[in-house]
Amino acid sequence: MTADDRPQPPALTRAGPYLHLQRWIRADAQRLLALRCLASLGLKDAWLAAGFVRNLAWDQLHGYRHPTPLNDIDLIHFDPDQPDAEADARIEAHLRQQAGHLRWSVKNQARMHLRNGDAPYRDSCDAMARWPEVETAIGVRLRSGGGIEIATPFVQTGLLALRLTPNLQHRHPHTFAERVQAKGWLRQWPRLQVEDLPRAGAWHADPRNGNPSP
| 206 band by pLDDT with thresholds 50, 70 and 90 | very low
Name the more confident of 96 and 146: 96
Model confidence at 96, in pLDDT bands (50, 70, 90)? Answer: very high
d(CA 58, CA 192): 8
Q: What is the pLDDT of residues 48-69, one digit of tens each?
A: 999 999 999 999 999 999 999 9
Angle 157-162-166 from CA coordinates, rounded to 5°: 75
Tell me which amino acid residue 198 is. Answer: P
Domain ranges of the chain: 30-196
Whole-angstrom distance, CA of residue 35 vs CA of residue 31: 6
pLDDT digits (tens, 9 = 90+) for 113-160: 999 999 999 999 999 999 999 999 999 999 998 899 999 999 999 999
Mean of pLDDT over the chain:
87
CATH class belonging to 30-196: alpha beta
- pTM for this structure? 0.85
DSSP string, 37-89: HHHHH--TT-EEETHHHHHHHHHHHTT-SSPPPPS-EEEEE--TTS-SHHHHH
How many residues are listed for the chain in this entry? Answer: 214
Band of pLDDT at residue 212, cut at 50, 70 and 90 = very low
- Please say whether the beta carbons of 164 and 144 come within 8 A: no
- Check: CB of residue 102 under 8 Å from CB of residue 120: no
pLDDT at residue 201 above 80? no
